[in-house]
Each structure stands twice: as C-alpha cells, then as structure tokens.
Amino acid sequence: MKKTWKIGTRGSLLALTQCGQIRDLLHEKTGENFELVIIKTRGDQQTDVPLWQLEGKDFFTRELDMALLAGEVDLVVHSYKDLGSERPVGIKLAAITERFYGNDILLMPKDKIQLLKNGALKKLIVGTSSPRRIVNLTQQLARLLPSKPEIETKTLRGNVNTRVQKLRNNEYDAIVLAMPGLERLAQDANAVKELAPLVDGLDFMILPPSLFPWAASQGALAIEMWQDHPQASELSRILASVHHTATELAVKRERKAFNDYGGGCHLAVGVAVMQTKDFFVHSHRGERDQDKIDKQFLEPSQQEINAIATFAGMASDDQLIEKVPLQLSFNSDNKDLFVTSSHVFKSLEKTSISASFCAAGTKTWEKLAGQGYWVNGCADSLGEKQLENFSRSHLLKLLRQRTFDWLVLSGEEAHSSLGPVFETYQRREKTLSAEFAKRIEETSDFFWTSFNQYQTYLQRFPMIKDKRHWCGLGKTYDAFAMHHIPVIAVSGISEFKKLTGHK
C-alpha cells in the first residue's frame, strides 16, 4: 500500500489553508499522497498579549518541532517568518516555496476613508502588535493619507478572521495585516466563504516596501523534515519539487540582515529584499535601541564606483525640459489610474473621479494624498511589473469585486505594458542660461528620470554621451539597456546622491 505522508500544521484557518495548498501542490508534482495533522501551539492559544511581551520563543513552532522529532508527522509547513534563526538539532529545512507577495496591507472601511478625505478624521487608530509596524506606521503612514491624520497604534492579536472582525466591530479605524496570508485565503474556495463577508465594504492600501519593509522572509513558506527520518532521501526528493531558488536567495538575505540588527520578535526593523533584473533591491527601515534604521540600496553594490559629481538630470534640477500640463478631461469610470508623476494633476482637476489610484512612486503618492485622493498602492519606483503582479492577486480581486482595468496617465509619446496611455502633459525645451550650460559640460555623472530626458540633453550637449549615466530600475533602465548604452542602476535618487557625494 502506498504511503500517506503526514503534514503537521497549526489549526488556524490560514495554517490549514496554506498547508492544504502545499499538500495539493506536492501531490500534483509527485503523485504522492499527503494528509494534514493539526497540532496546537502556544502562540495560537495565548492571544491576549503581543508576542514580543511573552516569555520564551518559538511560540508557533515548538509543538510542531516536537511532533516532527518524535516521528508523529513526516514534515511541517511554517510561515518562514515564524521560524527563529536557531532551529532544533535534527530538523532540516527541506524547501522554501515561491513568494508572490511580501507586502503588508492596510484595510479600512470605505466610510472612514470618506471621513479622511473630508478632513473629519483627525486621528487614525491602526490595529497591529508588531514593533516593526508600530514604528514605521507612526513615522510614515500619515504622509500617504488624505488630510494627514495623527497615527496611533493599538494592540491587535488573533487569527486573520478575528482581526478583520474587530475592524468591522469598529474597534479600530484600520488594521495592517500580511498580504501573503490573505492572498492564500483568497485562493481557497472554502476560505473565501468566510473571508468575503468580512472584507465587504473595506478598501485597501498595499504598503510600499521602501517605507514599510515587511518582516524578514514574510510571504515564503518553509517546509521542514527530520533529517534522520527513516525515508529521508525519498522525502527530500519529494520536497525539493516545490523549492523555489529565487525566493530562497531573497529571503535568506532578509533573514541575515535582520539577524545582523540583533534579531528577535522585539526588534522593530523591517527588511524587504526584492529581486528585479540582475539586482536585489534592499529596504531596511525601523529602529534598533532607539537608533533609526533607514537603508535603501542595490546588491551588488555600486560603492566601488567612487564618483564625485556635480549632477544634473533630476526633475527638480532640470532647466532644459519644461513639462506643460494639459487641462483635458477623460472618462475614468471604473478605471484604475496609474499616475506616473504630479504633472498629470491638471487633468484630474477637470475629471469626475470614480476610479482607483496607483502611483509610480511614493513621492507622487504623497502628492496625490495631498490632493485628497486615496491611493491603493504604487510601483515603488521599480517599474510597471510591480502593478502587473498586483493585477494577478486573488485577494485584490475579492476586495474590489472586479479585475484591474488600467489607464496610464503620462506624457506625450509614453507607452505602457499595463494598458492605454492618456497624454496629460507635453515636454517643451527652454532657453538655457550660460551658467547652466557650463555646468552640464563640467558634470561627470547624470541621474536620469526618463530616457526621453537623456535623449533631449544629448541632442543639445553631445559631449555627455561619454559621461557616466545613472537611473532607477524601471522603464528608464530598460530603455538604456535596449539601446546598449551603459548605465549604472541605483535604488533611487537618494542612493545616487550618497554614492556621488552630492549634498
């Protein structure tokens, strides 16, 4: 008779859902049979205080570890972020599954969002018990909200359903949860029956990792086994079928950085690492022993470049190209507007808005919020693929009750993989002062916000072709690569300034 492998799991809806998905994926890939064995953990039973205030550690794993080492189960599935850096002797990490989302997500009733827009909600009570979230929400959230309310956090514990129900019971104005957990629930038909009525009437904000980096390894699942299992070789082969190397590379960097800061559930530091193109984009933010942590950089690092530059090409310093807004109206009903810069705002003034908003980066997001708009998320200066990824989300489809239908608000000659482009501004060359022209000639390093900007300057100043060029990792980088022009990638203008010594 063919063996049925036993998967140890916690008993919460989320744990059962994600373990059931791993069971089905393993069966699909290997043809093997699996069954779930529910094991209660201390973290599931003691929900009255934040985890970081509890004595000891391994609140969600100890009982599962014991069952694994005792041979009561063959493998266990954990949310990787719940695993400490030190694991019991004899337990082997056999696979890390693919991570599709790592973000935190803020949920808020639509009627309270309207109060924000009207300026009637002066203080926002946000539910969370994570020290990392408490620090970063308190410091960063208000700038992304209409009317910039005071942010106050309040303890939130319990399983996903309990937390959302507390929001519906008006115990909080908003709550913050891990998006990957909700996403897994939204992919399961049975879980959706419970989740759908809970999220009805709620809107969302996908928190950008540059400002709100997630918990190290959030969104990845770790599958562990007993290394001395009687059928260890066969089980290792089976579990390897669901291992995802790219996710492993990213989350191991997150965990290493987190441990370098000191580690532990009390540490108020988020660490997000995203692989894009040939780079790993790092965002570390929070506090350690009252010291502020705020790092955004690319790996491999560009530190060896040693550039000392008087830079040009930044939008606020661009004295050659003027962007002239067009006061046009367009039909935005049930559209998802991707706002590429603040230069599109003139068109919004004459438009009846019944659409959702996403921004290219956090600066544009902040300006939209200042205009009274609720923004659902942003590409975080990493390009449109970030929004394409969100478009595939089962959770967002459930919250919105429809699929994404993008309309891109940008400038002339712009193109987008998301959908049609509506031209909201035109570029016009200005007359340059002799002083600025001399500055361009003497500049060694240029940071470009678009490839069109580079081409315009190149026409006027052919000598810049042989200078060093820098940009972020979005469409500008892609255009330089397509034209085979050497360019140095950075996480953004702040990293460029740091590396070039610009004050």
Bridge partners for 325 per DSSP: 425
Q: Does the domain formed by 104-206 have CATH 3.60.21.10?
A: no
Neighbours of 71 (CB within 10 A): 12
* Tens-digit pLDDT profile for residues 406-455: 999 998 778 899 999 988 888 889 888 898 888 888 888 899 988 999 99
Identify whether the C-beta of residue 405 lies closer than 8 Å to the C-beta of residue 338: no
pLDDT score recorded for residue 325: 83
* 133 included as an active-site residue: yes
Q: Mean per-residue pLDDT for 374-390?
A: 93
* 265 included as an active-site residue: yes
pLDDT score recorded for residue 373: 92
Q: Which of 115-124, 223-232, 282-291, 317-326 has the lowest mean pLDDT?
A: 317-326
pLDDT score recorded for residue 58: 59
pLDDT score recorded for residue 215: 96
pLDDT above 70 as % of the chain: 92
Neighbours of 232 (CB within 10 A): 15
Residues 6+ apart with CB under 8 A from 175: 106, 107, 126, 127, 128, 156, 163, 164, 166, 167
Identify whether the C-beta of residue 104 lies closer than 8 Å to the C-beta of residue 131: no
pLDDT score recorded for residue 70: 93
Domain 323-428 belongs to what architecture?
A: 3-Layer(aba) Sandwich (3.40)
* Tens-digit pLDDT profile for residues 66-78: 999 999 999 999 9
> Tokens at residue 215, please?
């918990």
Catalytic residue among 6, 10, 23, 81: 81
Mean pLDDT taken over the chain: 90
- The verdict on pTM exceeding 0.85 is yes
Gap between the Cα atoms of 229 and 68, Å rounded = 9
Catalytic residue among 112, 163, 285, 335: 163
> Tokens at residue 186, please?
């939204």
pLDDT score recorded for residue 53: 46
Neighbours of 9 (CB within 10 A): 25
3-state DSSP helix/strand/coil percent for the chain, to nearest 5?
A: 40, 25, 40
pLDDT-derived band at 42 (thresholds 50, 70, 90) equals low
Count the alpha carbons within 13 Å of 89 in the hemisphere toward its beta carbon: 0
Domain boundaries, given as residue ranges, for the chain? 4-99+219-262, 104-206, 303-318+430-500, 323-428
Given a cut of 80, whether residue 486 has pLDDT beyond it is: yes
Given a cut of 60, whether residue 292 has pLDDT beyond it is: yes
Catalytic residue among 92, 112, 133, 475: 133
Give the single-character DSSP code of 312. B
**Which residue has 């969100």 as its token pair?**
390
**Pairing, β 356-359 against β 336-339:** parallel
Q: Single out the residue of 404, 405, 398 nearest to residue 200, CA to CA.
A: 398
Residue type, position 339, single letter? V
> Tokens at residue 116, please?
């924000």
pLDDT score recorded for residue 389: 95
Identify whether the C-beta of residue 216 lies closer than 8 Å to the C-beta of residue 45: no
Convert 292-324 to b/e letters by CB count within 10 Å (16 or more is b): ebeebbbeeebeeeebebebbbbbeebebbebe
Catalytic residue among 6, 99, 132, 475: 132
Bridge partners for 95 per DSSP: 223
Q: Does the domain formed by 4-99+219-262 have CATH 3.40.190.10?
A: yes
Catalytic residue among 265, 358, 378, 471: 265
pLDDT score recorded for residue 158: 87
* 81 included as an active-site residue: yes
Catalytic residue among 58, 65, 82, 380: 82
pLDDT score recorded for residue 319: 85
Evaluated on CA atoms 315, 316, 319, 321, the torsion sign reads positive
104-206 has the same fold as 4-99+219-262: yes
pLDDT score recorded for residue 253: 97
* 82 included as an active-site residue: yes
Catalytic residue among 42, 87, 157, 288: 157
The CA angle 27-28-32, to the nearest 5 degrees, is 30
* 132 included as an active-site residue: yes
